[in-house]
Amino acid sequence: MAPRFRADHIGSLIRPQYLLDAQLQVSDFGRMHTQYNESASHELIDKAHDAERQAIKDVVAEQVNRGITPITSGEFERSSFVSGFFENLEGIEIRLVEWKDFRTDFPITRPYLRRNIPGRDQPIATGKVRWKQSTYMKEWLHLRSLLPEERWKDVKITIPAPNWSHTQLKDGCAYTFEAYTNEQEYLKDLGEAVRQEILALYDAGVARDRGLIASDRFPGALPADGVRRRFIQIDDPMVAMFCDQPFLEEQKKEGKTLDDLLDPAILAHNTAAREMPDDLTLQVHLCRGNLPKGDTAAIGGFDDMAPRLFKLNYERFALEFDDPEITGSVAPLQHLPSGKVVVLGLVTTKDSELETVEAMEAKVHEAAEVIAKAQGKTREEVIKDSIAVSPGCGFASVSVIHGIESVDVQWEKLELVKKVAKDVLGST
């Protein structure tokens, strides 16, 4: 059965300047005024919200007009792809964490160390972590209000992975010992919070198809054609950092193996993705960000972690393969189980150079050969049932930092993904 969204995109899109200006005014006002001016603050916040709603309306219309799916808000409501979720949980405080508490030589931290800043804000558990209310419900309800109900099935919402803070920080630094005495309990609670967010959005109709057979949530009945139509993505750039050999060497000095690093992340992910409705597809996206290539966070392939990675409770795995020197080869795909889908991130969002259809087609065929040989299938069967294509990352995971020089280039790249999906994968 061919997977949905043969042409995928990760979620974030480049924000228009008027939106960035409006959002910047709000943050600048907060920094500059020591005495709170409620009237002026509310006026700026209202203007920022108006700009946000207009920008989302425009970017949704652009996706619809171009026939690009899945449809997203561009994550324009967020300053980064993780914004909102952790600070909305009971038991979490956002604290400035000094660099000494981060893992030694953690790849995503390296670009920040070159700046004269003392550390980074991180969500720290100071009490038991519990989900209270949906962070992204408002985002979903606004997005669906811009589309007729028959298009809800074409929408994607993204959620940050539960291990976001834990993976970056040294052991014991992501929570206080008043809150937790061991990381397993902490990670299970974070995973459960993500799970509750997923189920809340599911119940509110995320990606609902009007033709779906009515059923209880557990088990969710599939539509008559057997295609899972609801679709939610978990974003985890942290696990991809474990591809970086210099980082792994530093961890060895501290007595950590790759399995030691992977175990907590796998526990958190599998808790988040457990016991899901049958008609819901969960996709995990593993990437190295969209900073310009000189600031690329981690270099190396998924080879060593692939046997365990593909056993996660996800149906789709969106992985970067846009530059072999950075992302490695497609050889790890030999471990992809039958029935799961790999979304090949073949278009870079780290620079503006446009890839070619021929190069992307060759990479699709190379990946299909690897999977086919391992699964005992033909290349054609694998292309039909197990492969989609996308950019390697979002275009603006953080609002003001991206590697693409213009919005026009962004749309050219998404049109290219759509063309490859049609010409090579046979999507309609």
Q: Please indicate, yes or no, if residue 1 is contained in any of the structural domains.
A: no
User: What is the spatial distance between Cα 347 and Cα 320, in angstroms, rounded to a whole number?
Assistant: 9
Q: Please indicate, yes or no, if residue 5 is contained in any of the structural domains.
A: no
Using CB atoms within 10 Å of the CB of residue 217, give its burial: 0 to 12 exposed, 13 to 18 middle, 19+ buried.
middle
Q: Please indicate, yes or no, if residue 268 is contained in any of the structural domains.
A: yes
Structure tokens at 141: 């309800």
Q: Please indicate, yes or no, if residue 3 is contained in any of the structural domains.
A: no
Amino acid (one-letter) located at 107? P
> What domain range includes position 399?
17-423
Q: Is the peptide bond before 246 cis (omega within 30 degrees of 0)?
A: no
268 with 187: CB under 8 angstroms? yes
Q: Please indicate, yes or no, if residue 7 is contained in any of the structural domains.
A: no
Amino acid (one-letter) located at 105? D
pLDDT tier, 268 (very low <50, low <70, confident <90, very high otherwise): very high
Q: Please indicate, yes or no, if residue 282 is contained in any of the structural domains.
A: yes
Q: How many domains does the chain have?
A: 1
Over residues 202-235, the pLDDT tens digits come to 888 776 554 444 444 434 444 444 444 578 999 9
Give strand ranges (E) for 99-144. 119-130
User: What is the spatial distance between Cα 339 and Cα 382, in angstroms, rounded to a whole number?
Assistant: 10
Q: Please indicate, yes or no, if residue 2 is contained in any of the structural domains.
A: no
* Residue whose entry in the numeric block shows the structure tokens 């699709």: 364
| Close Cβ partners of 116 (under 8 Å, ≥ 6 residues apart) | none
Over residues 142-195, the pLDDT tens digits come to 998 999 988 888 999 999 999 988 989 998 899 999 999 999 999 999 999 999
Q: Please indicate, yes or no, if residue 9 is contained in any of the structural domains.
A: no
User: What is the spatial distance between Cα 203 and Cα 265, in angstroms, rounded to a whole number?
Assistant: 26
Over residues 280-298, the pLDDT tens digits come to 889 999 988 777 666 667 8
334 with 371: CB under 8 angstroms? yes
Using CB atoms within 10 Å of the CB of residue 186, give its burial: 0 to 12 exposed, 13 to 18 middle, 19+ buried.
buried
CATH number of the domain enclosing 92: 3.20.20.210
pLDDT tier, 254 (very low <50, low <70, confident <90, very high otherwise): confident
